[in-house]
Amino acid sequence: MIHSLFLINNAGDLFLEKHWKSVISRSVCDYFFEAREKAVEPDNVPPVIRTPHHYLINIYREKIFFVSVIQTEVPPLFVIEFLHRVAETFQDYFGECSETTIKDNVVIVYELLEEMLDNGFPLATESNILKELIRPPTILRSMVNTITGSSNVGETLPTGQLSNIPWRRAGVKYTNNEAYFDVVEEIDAILDKSGTTVFAEIQGVIDACVKLSGMPDLTLSFMNPRLLDDVSFHPCVRYKRWESERVISFIPPDGNFQLMSYHISAQNLVAIPIYVKQNISFFETGSSGRLDIAVGPKQTMGKTVECLVVTVHMPKVVLSANLSATQGTYNYDPVTKILLWDIGKLNPQKLPNLKGSLSLQSGAPKPEENPSLNIDLKIQQLAISGLKVNRLDMYGEKYKPFKGVKYVTKAGKFQVRT
Protein backbone atom coordinates (compact mmCIF):
# COMPACT_ATOMS: atom_id res chain seq x y z
CA MET A 1 0.00 0.00 0.00
CA ILE A 2 2.32 2.72 1.24
CA HIS A 3 5.50 2.34 -0.72
CA SER A 4 7.74 5.05 0.67
CA LEU A 5 7.66 8.05 2.95
CA PHE A 6 9.54 11.32 2.55
CA LEU A 7 9.66 14.04 5.16
CA ILE A 8 10.14 17.49 3.72
CA ASN A 9 10.41 20.74 5.65
CA ASN A 10 8.90 24.06 4.77
CA ALA A 11 12.04 25.18 2.96
CA GLY A 12 11.82 22.19 0.64
CA ASP A 13 14.62 20.12 2.21
CA LEU A 14 14.01 16.42 2.11
CA PHE A 15 15.42 15.32 5.44
CA LEU A 16 14.22 11.74 5.87
CA GLU A 17 13.27 8.93 3.58
CA LYS A 18 12.00 5.45 4.33
CA HIS A 19 11.07 2.72 1.91
CA TRP A 20 8.97 -0.33 2.74
CA LYS A 21 9.39 -1.99 -0.60
CA SER A 22 11.96 -1.42 -3.34
CA VAL A 23 13.65 1.96 -3.19
CA ILE A 24 11.91 4.73 -5.06
CA SER A 25 14.22 7.52 -6.11
CA ARG A 26 13.66 10.74 -4.26
CA SER A 27 13.35 12.46 -7.60
CA VAL A 28 9.67 11.48 -7.45
CA CYS A 29 9.34 14.36 -5.01
CA ASP A 30 9.96 16.82 -7.84
CA TYR A 31 6.29 16.52 -8.68
CA PHE A 32 5.53 17.43 -5.13
CA PHE A 33 7.85 20.44 -5.21
CA GLU A 34 6.16 21.60 -8.37
CA ALA A 35 2.74 21.40 -6.74
CA ARG A 36 4.13 23.02 -3.61
CA GLU A 37 5.36 25.99 -5.59
CA LYS A 38 2.08 26.35 -7.41
CA ALA A 39 0.08 26.27 -4.21
CA VAL A 40 1.89 29.25 -2.63
CA GLU A 41 0.49 28.48 0.83
CA PRO A 42 1.52 25.10 2.26
CA ASP A 43 -2.11 24.38 3.16
CA ASN A 44 -3.12 24.64 -0.45
CA VAL A 45 -0.98 21.76 -1.67
CA PRO A 46 -3.39 19.17 -3.03
CA PRO A 47 -3.39 16.12 -0.72
CA VAL A 48 -3.23 13.71 -3.63
CA ILE A 49 -0.85 14.39 -6.51
CA ARG A 50 -0.82 12.19 -9.57
CA THR A 51 2.51 11.52 -11.28
CA PRO A 52 3.07 9.25 -14.29
CA HIS A 53 3.92 6.18 -12.23
CA HIS A 54 3.01 6.99 -8.65
CA TYR A 55 0.55 8.84 -6.53
CA LEU A 56 1.80 11.15 -3.82
CA ILE A 57 -0.45 11.50 -0.81
CA ASN A 58 0.69 14.09 1.67
CA ILE A 59 -0.26 15.85 4.85
CA TYR A 60 1.19 19.04 6.27
CA ARG A 61 1.72 19.06 10.01
CA GLU A 62 3.96 21.00 12.33
CA LYS A 63 5.67 22.61 9.35
CA ILE A 64 6.58 19.24 7.90
CA PHE A 65 5.19 17.64 4.79
CA PHE A 66 4.70 13.91 5.19
CA VAL A 67 4.77 12.74 1.58
CA SER A 68 3.91 9.11 0.95
CA VAL A 69 4.34 7.33 -2.34
CA ILE A 70 1.57 5.00 -3.50
CA GLN A 71 1.56 2.75 -6.52
CA THR A 72 -1.80 1.06 -6.49
CA GLU A 73 -5.37 1.72 -5.51
CA VAL A 74 -5.85 2.46 -1.82
CA PRO A 75 -8.43 4.58 -0.04
CA PRO A 76 -6.70 7.99 0.22
CA LEU A 77 -8.16 8.53 3.70
CA PHE A 78 -6.47 5.34 4.80
CA VAL A 79 -3.10 6.83 3.94
CA ILE A 80 -3.91 10.26 5.32
CA GLU A 81 -5.11 8.81 8.61
CA PHE A 82 -1.98 6.72 8.81
CA LEU A 83 0.31 9.67 8.18
CA HIS A 84 -1.44 11.57 10.95
CA ARG A 85 -0.95 8.57 13.20
CA VAL A 86 2.78 8.67 12.40
CA ALA A 87 2.95 12.34 13.32
CA GLU A 88 1.03 11.67 16.54
CA THR A 89 3.38 8.85 17.44
CA PHE A 90 6.38 11.14 17.01
CA GLN A 91 4.67 13.69 19.19
CA ASP A 92 3.96 11.07 21.79
CA TYR A 93 7.55 9.85 21.79
CA PHE A 94 9.49 13.07 21.56
CA GLY A 95 7.11 15.60 23.11
CA GLU A 96 6.83 17.43 19.83
CA CYS A 97 6.86 16.52 16.19
CA SER A 98 9.35 18.88 14.60
CA GLU A 99 12.18 18.64 12.15
CA THR A 100 14.72 19.03 14.94
CA THR A 101 13.33 16.29 17.16
CA ILE A 102 13.00 13.93 14.22
CA LYS A 103 16.58 14.58 13.18
CA ASP A 104 17.81 14.20 16.75
CA ASN A 105 16.03 10.87 17.15
CA VAL A 106 16.44 9.59 13.68
CA VAL A 107 17.23 6.03 14.76
CA ILE A 108 14.14 5.73 16.93
CA VAL A 109 12.10 7.33 14.18
CA TYR A 110 13.40 4.73 11.80
CA GLU A 111 12.70 1.89 14.20
CA LEU A 112 9.19 3.20 14.73
CA LEU A 113 8.49 3.47 11.02
CA GLU A 114 9.79 -0.06 10.62
CA GLU A 115 7.33 -1.36 13.21
CA MET A 116 4.38 0.71 12.09
CA LEU A 117 4.32 -0.58 8.54
CA ASP A 118 5.22 -3.92 7.05
CA ASN A 119 5.34 -4.07 3.30
CA GLY A 120 3.33 -0.88 3.31
CA PHE A 121 0.51 -2.23 5.45
CA PRO A 122 0.04 -0.99 9.03
CA LEU A 123 1.39 -3.46 11.55
CA ALA A 124 1.49 -1.83 14.97
CA THR A 125 0.10 1.64 15.45
CA GLU A 126 -1.10 1.49 19.03
CA SER A 127 1.06 3.66 21.23
CA ASN A 128 0.98 1.14 24.08
CA ILE A 129 2.24 -1.64 21.83
CA LEU A 130 4.93 0.48 20.22
CA LYS A 131 6.20 1.60 23.58
CA GLU A 132 6.84 -1.98 24.60
CA LEU A 133 8.70 -2.64 21.37
CA ILE A 134 10.68 0.56 21.32
CA ARG A 135 11.01 2.47 24.54
CA PRO A 136 10.66 6.22 24.28
CA PRO A 137 13.85 8.14 24.96
CA THR A 138 14.36 9.69 28.37
CA ILE A 139 17.50 11.33 29.63
CA LEU A 140 17.91 8.77 32.36
CA ARG A 141 17.48 5.84 30.02
CA SER A 142 19.89 7.14 27.43
CA MET A 143 22.48 7.59 30.17
CA VAL A 144 21.95 4.13 31.52
CA ASN A 145 22.09 2.73 28.01
CA THR A 146 25.39 4.35 27.21
CA ILE A 147 26.88 2.96 30.38
CA THR A 148 25.43 -0.53 30.35
CA GLY A 149 25.05 -0.97 26.62
CA SER A 150 21.48 -2.17 27.04
CA SER A 151 19.04 -1.28 24.33
CA ASN A 152 15.81 0.52 23.76
CA VAL A 153 14.24 -2.39 22.02
CA GLY A 154 11.90 -4.87 23.65
CA GLU A 155 12.76 -8.52 23.27
CA THR A 156 9.37 -10.09 23.62
CA LEU A 157 6.13 -9.62 21.83
CA PRO A 158 4.08 -6.83 23.42
CA THR A 159 1.26 -8.38 25.40
CA GLY A 160 -1.23 -6.14 23.67
CA GLN A 161 -0.60 -7.75 20.29
CA LEU A 162 -2.26 -10.96 21.32
CA SER A 163 -4.95 -9.78 23.69
CA ASN A 164 -8.23 -8.40 22.55
CA ILE A 165 -7.45 -5.13 24.27
CA PRO A 166 -4.37 -4.35 22.19
CA TRP A 167 -4.36 -0.72 23.27
CA ARG A 168 -3.35 -1.52 26.83
CA ARG A 169 -0.06 -2.98 27.90
CA ALA A 170 -0.02 -5.55 30.64
CA GLY A 171 1.59 -5.23 34.03
CA VAL A 172 1.06 -1.50 34.49
CA LYS A 173 2.12 -0.33 37.96
CA TYR A 174 1.97 3.10 39.52
CA THR A 175 2.49 4.25 43.06
CA ASN A 176 0.12 7.15 42.50
CA ASN A 177 -2.93 6.07 40.59
CA GLU A 178 -4.55 8.93 38.76
CA ALA A 179 -6.99 9.59 35.94
CA TYR A 180 -7.43 13.03 34.42
CA PHE A 181 -9.89 14.07 31.77
CA ASP A 182 -9.81 17.29 29.79
CA VAL A 183 -13.01 18.33 28.09
CA VAL A 184 -11.83 20.64 25.32
CA GLU A 185 -14.39 22.41 23.16
CA GLU A 186 -13.67 24.50 20.13
CA ILE A 187 -16.15 26.92 18.67
CA ASP A 188 -16.22 26.99 14.89
CA ALA A 189 -18.11 30.05 13.84
CA ILE A 190 -18.66 32.57 11.11
CA LEU A 191 -19.98 35.96 12.12
CA ASP A 192 -21.04 38.44 9.53
CA LYS A 193 -20.26 42.13 9.30
CA SER A 194 -23.01 43.12 11.70
CA GLY A 195 -21.97 40.55 14.27
CA THR A 196 -24.81 38.09 13.72
CA THR A 197 -23.94 34.45 13.70
CA VAL A 198 -23.99 33.01 10.22
CA PHE A 199 -23.01 29.63 11.45
CA ALA A 200 -21.65 28.15 14.64
CA GLU A 201 -20.95 24.69 15.93
CA ILE A 202 -18.86 23.05 18.60
CA GLN A 203 -16.21 20.43 18.09
CA GLY A 204 -15.30 18.78 21.33
CA VAL A 205 -12.78 16.22 22.45
CA ILE A 206 -12.14 14.50 25.72
CA ASP A 207 -8.44 13.95 26.23
CA ALA A 208 -7.45 11.57 28.93
CA CYS A 209 -4.34 10.97 30.90
CA VAL A 210 -4.82 7.72 32.75
CA LYS A 211 -2.10 6.30 34.94
CA LEU A 212 -3.75 3.43 36.74
CA SER A 213 -2.24 0.11 37.79
CA GLY A 214 -3.52 -3.24 36.60
CA MET A 215 -6.60 -3.60 34.45
CA PRO A 216 -8.99 -0.88 35.55
CA ASP A 217 -12.43 -0.84 33.97
CA LEU A 218 -13.73 2.72 33.92
CA THR A 219 -17.15 4.19 33.42
CA LEU A 220 -17.55 7.85 32.69
CA SER A 221 -21.01 9.34 32.76
CA PHE A 222 -22.34 12.77 31.86
CA MET A 223 -25.00 14.95 33.43
CA ASN A 224 -26.36 15.78 29.98
CA PRO A 225 -25.27 13.17 27.45
CA ARG A 226 -28.11 14.07 25.07
CA LEU A 227 -26.19 17.17 24.06
CA LEU A 228 -23.70 15.09 22.17
CA ASP A 229 -24.59 14.77 18.56
CA ASP A 230 -22.03 13.00 16.48
CA VAL A 231 -19.56 11.05 18.57
CA SER A 232 -16.56 8.98 17.70
CA PHE A 233 -14.65 6.89 20.14
CA HIS A 234 -11.27 5.44 20.86
CA PRO A 235 -11.46 1.70 20.10
CA CYS A 236 -11.44 0.96 23.83
CA VAL A 237 -14.93 2.38 24.34
CA ARG A 238 -17.76 -0.14 24.45
CA TYR A 239 -20.13 1.09 21.81
CA LYS A 240 -23.08 -0.98 23.01
CA ARG A 241 -23.13 0.61 26.43
CA TRP A 242 -23.08 4.04 24.90
CA GLU A 243 -25.99 3.07 22.69
CA SER A 244 -28.06 1.69 25.51
CA GLU A 245 -27.06 3.72 28.57
CA ARG A 246 -25.22 6.75 27.24
CA VAL A 247 -22.19 6.08 29.41
CA ILE A 248 -18.60 5.72 28.30
CA SER A 249 -17.38 2.35 29.50
CA PHE A 250 -13.81 1.35 28.73
CA ILE A 251 -10.56 -0.24 29.75
CA PRO A 252 -8.17 2.64 29.12
CA PRO A 253 -4.84 2.56 27.34
CA ASP A 254 -1.96 3.47 29.59
CA GLY A 255 -0.95 7.13 29.38
CA ASN A 256 -2.28 9.91 27.19
CA PHE A 257 -4.97 9.27 24.63
CA GLN A 258 -8.04 10.84 23.13
CA LEU A 259 -11.07 9.11 24.59
CA MET A 260 -13.69 10.54 22.30
CA SER A 261 -14.56 13.42 20.08
CA TYR A 262 -17.98 14.88 19.53
CA HIS A 263 -19.81 17.46 17.64
CA ILE A 264 -22.59 19.75 18.69
CA SER A 265 -24.34 20.87 15.62
CA ALA A 266 -25.51 24.20 14.40
CA GLN A 267 -29.08 23.24 15.33
CA ASN A 268 -28.39 23.76 18.98
CA LEU A 269 -27.82 27.37 19.80
CA VAL A 270 -24.15 27.90 20.30
CA ALA A 271 -23.13 30.63 22.71
CA ILE A 272 -20.66 33.08 21.21
CA PRO A 273 -18.45 34.35 24.05
CA ILE A 274 -17.34 37.63 22.50
CA TYR A 275 -18.49 40.28 20.11
CA VAL A 276 -16.29 42.14 17.66
CA LYS A 277 -16.96 45.61 16.34
CA GLN A 278 -14.85 46.43 13.37
CA ASN A 279 -14.50 49.01 10.73
CA ILE A 280 -11.88 48.56 8.06
CA SER A 281 -11.97 50.83 5.08
CA PHE A 282 -9.67 51.65 2.20
CA PHE A 283 -9.81 55.02 0.54
CA GLU A 284 -10.06 55.44 -3.20
CA THR A 285 -7.40 58.12 -3.12
CA GLY A 286 -4.31 58.66 -1.07
CA SER A 287 -3.25 55.02 -0.85
CA SER A 288 -4.38 54.62 2.69
CA GLY A 289 -7.02 53.03 4.82
CA ARG A 290 -8.43 52.99 8.32
CA LEU A 291 -8.80 50.21 10.78
CA ASP A 292 -10.79 50.15 13.98
CA ILE A 293 -11.40 46.96 15.91
CA ALA A 294 -13.01 46.62 19.33
CA VAL A 295 -13.67 43.40 21.21
CA GLY A 296 -16.00 42.83 24.13
CA PRO A 297 -17.50 39.94 26.12
CA LYS A 298 -20.88 38.54 25.11
CA GLN A 299 -21.86 35.14 26.55
CA THR A 300 -19.01 34.14 28.79
CA MET A 301 -21.05 32.45 31.55
CA GLY A 302 -19.23 34.57 34.08
CA LYS A 303 -15.78 33.33 33.12
CA THR A 304 -12.82 35.32 31.90
CA VAL A 305 -11.77 35.20 28.28
CA GLU A 306 -8.03 34.70 28.01
CA CYS A 307 -5.37 34.47 25.35
CA LEU A 308 -7.43 36.60 23.03
CA VAL A 309 -5.71 37.12 19.69
CA VAL A 310 -7.05 38.73 16.53
CA THR A 311 -5.37 37.82 13.25
CA VAL A 312 -6.04 39.64 9.99
CA HIS A 313 -4.77 38.50 6.61
CA MET A 314 -4.37 41.86 4.91
CA PRO A 315 -4.67 42.34 1.15
CA LYS A 316 -1.38 42.34 -0.73
CA VAL A 317 -1.39 46.07 -1.28
CA VAL A 318 -1.19 46.94 2.42
CA LEU A 319 2.39 48.02 3.04
CA SER A 320 2.34 48.98 6.68
CA ALA A 321 0.06 49.68 9.59
CA ASN A 322 0.27 52.55 12.00
CA LEU A 323 -2.04 51.61 14.82
CA SER A 324 -2.46 52.02 18.52
CA ALA A 325 -3.84 49.42 20.88
CA THR A 326 -5.42 50.23 24.22
CA GLN A 327 -4.46 46.77 25.39
CA GLY A 328 -1.95 44.17 24.28
CA THR A 329 0.50 44.43 21.45
CA TYR A 330 0.09 44.37 17.71
CA ASN A 331 2.47 43.41 14.95
CA TYR A 332 2.16 43.70 11.19
CA ASP A 333 4.36 41.49 9.07
CA PRO A 334 4.72 43.16 5.66
CA VAL A 335 5.99 39.95 4.08
CA THR A 336 3.16 37.59 5.00
CA LYS A 337 0.70 40.52 5.24
CA ILE A 338 -0.54 39.28 8.59
CA LEU A 339 -1.66 41.67 11.28
CA LEU A 340 -1.58 40.05 14.67
CA TRP A 341 -3.11 41.70 17.72
CA ASP A 342 -2.35 39.85 20.92
CA ILE A 343 -4.80 41.14 23.49
CA GLY A 344 -4.40 38.67 26.33
CA LYS A 345 -7.05 38.70 29.05
CA LEU A 346 -10.32 40.41 28.21
CA ASN A 347 -11.22 43.00 30.82
CA PRO A 348 -14.97 43.74 30.75
CA GLN A 349 -14.44 47.12 32.41
CA LYS A 350 -12.01 48.42 29.86
CA LEU A 351 -12.68 47.10 26.38
CA PRO A 352 -9.63 46.69 24.18
CA ASN A 353 -9.49 48.65 20.98
CA LEU A 354 -7.08 48.80 18.07
CA LYS A 355 -7.22 51.64 15.65
CA GLY A 356 -5.11 53.64 13.27
CA SER A 357 -4.24 53.93 9.64
CA LEU A 358 -3.00 51.54 6.98
CA SER A 359 -0.78 52.63 4.18
CA LEU A 360 -1.18 51.03 0.79
CA GLN A 361 1.05 50.62 -2.18
CA SER A 362 0.69 53.83 -4.13
CA GLY A 363 -0.99 53.59 -7.48
CA ALA A 364 -2.50 50.16 -6.84
CA PRO A 365 -6.29 49.92 -6.94
CA LYS A 366 -7.95 49.68 -3.57
CA PRO A 367 -8.70 46.13 -2.43
CA GLU A 368 -12.08 44.74 -3.39
CA GLU A 369 -12.76 42.98 -0.19
CA ASN A 370 -12.10 43.74 3.42
CA PRO A 371 -10.04 41.11 5.11
CA SER A 372 -11.83 38.86 7.57
CA LEU A 373 -10.73 38.58 11.18
CA ASN A 374 -9.71 35.33 12.77
CA ILE A 375 -10.19 35.11 16.50
CA ASP A 376 -8.35 32.99 18.99
CA LEU A 377 -9.38 32.73 22.60
CA LYS A 378 -9.48 30.49 25.60
CA ILE A 379 -11.86 30.20 28.53
CA GLN A 380 -10.76 28.06 31.43
CA GLN A 381 -13.18 25.99 33.51
CA LEU A 382 -15.97 26.17 30.97
CA ALA A 383 -17.36 23.86 28.35
CA ILE A 384 -19.36 26.27 26.25
CA SER A 385 -21.87 23.60 25.28
CA GLY A 386 -22.71 23.06 28.95
CA LEU A 387 -21.51 19.47 28.88
CA LYS A 388 -20.71 18.20 32.36
CA VAL A 389 -19.08 15.03 33.52
CA ASN A 390 -21.16 13.39 36.22
CA ARG A 391 -18.88 10.76 37.66
CA LEU A 392 -16.09 8.36 36.99
CA ASP A 393 -16.30 4.87 38.43
CA MET A 394 -13.64 2.25 38.44
CA TYR A 395 -14.16 -1.50 38.56
CA GLY A 396 -11.76 -4.38 38.50
CA GLU A 397 -9.12 -2.89 40.79
CA LYS A 398 -9.17 -2.29 44.48
CA TYR A 399 -7.13 0.87 45.03
CA LYS A 400 -8.67 4.33 45.08
CA PRO A 401 -7.55 6.41 42.14
CA PHE A 402 -7.21 10.17 42.11
CA LYS A 403 -9.63 11.61 39.58
CA GLY A 404 -9.92 14.99 37.94
CA VAL A 405 -11.86 16.72 35.19
CA LYS A 406 -10.88 19.97 33.52
CA TYR A 407 -12.92 22.05 31.07
CA VAL A 408 -11.55 24.41 28.46
CA THR A 409 -13.23 26.31 25.68
CA LYS A 410 -11.23 27.59 22.75
CA ALA A 411 -11.93 29.28 19.49
CA GLY A 412 -11.62 26.88 16.61
CA LYS A 413 -12.11 28.27 13.16
CA PHE A 414 -13.66 31.46 14.40
CA GLN A 415 -13.99 34.04 11.68
CA VAL A 416 -15.58 37.46 11.50
CA ARG A 417 -16.40 38.67 8.02
CA THR A 418 -16.04 42.34 7.30
CA gap 57, 54 in Å, rounded? 10
Instruction: State which residue, 7 or 382, has the beta carbon closest to other proteins.
Output: 7
Binding mask 158-197 for other proteins (x = CB under 8 A): ---xxxxxx---x-------------------x-------
Binding mask 312-351 for other proteins (x = CB under 8 A): -x-xx-----------------------------------
Nearest to 48 by CA among 24, 75, 76: 76
CA gap 316, 62 in Å, rounded? 26
Q: Restricting to residues 221-280, which ones interact with other proteins according to CB under 8 A?
A: 229-235, 239-240, 242-243, 251, 258, 260-261, 263, 265-267
The interface region with other proteins, picked from 77-85, 271-279, 323-331, 356-364 by CB under 8 A, is 77-85
Q: Does 110 bind other proteins (CB under 8 A)?
A: yes
Among 10, 34, 63, 198, binds other proteins (CB under 8 A): 198
Residue 77 Cβ vs other proteins, minimum distance, rounded to whole Å? 4
Cα distances (Å, whole numbers) of residue 95 to 87, 184, 234, 400: 11, 20, 21, 29
Q: Restricting to residues 116-155, which ones interact with other proteins according to CB under 8 A?
A: 118-119, 121-123, 125-126, 146, 149, 151-155
Nearest to 91 by CA among 122, 56, 66, 58: 66
Residue 328 Cβ vs other proteins, minimum distance, rounded to whole Å? 21
Residue 237 Cβ vs other proteins, minimum distance, rounded to whole Å? 8
Instruction: State which residue, 380 or 399, has the beta carbon closest to other proteins.
Output: 399
Cα distances (Å, whole numbers) of residue 128 to 111, 152, 159, 392: 15, 15, 10, 23
Burial class (CB in 10 A: 0-12, 13-18, 19+), 262: buried
Q: Contact 188/203 with Cβ under 8 angstroms?
A: yes
Q: Restricting to residues 278-297, which ones interact with other proteins according to CB under 8 A?
A: none
Residue 95 Cβ vs other proteins, minimum distance, rounded to whole Å? 20
> Which residues have CB under 8 Å from 217's CB, separation 6+?
249, 250, 251, 394, 395, 396
Q: Contact 181/211 with Cβ under 8 angstroms?
A: no
Question: 301 by DSSP, 3-state: which?
Answer: coil
Residue 280 Cβ vs other proteins, minimum distance, rounded to whole Å? 13
Cα distances (Å, whole numbers) of residue 384 to 185, 272, 379, 415: 7, 9, 9, 17
Residue 323 Cβ vs other proteins, minimum distance, rounded to whole Å? 21
Residue 379 Cβ vs other proteins, minimum distance, rounded to whole Å? 21
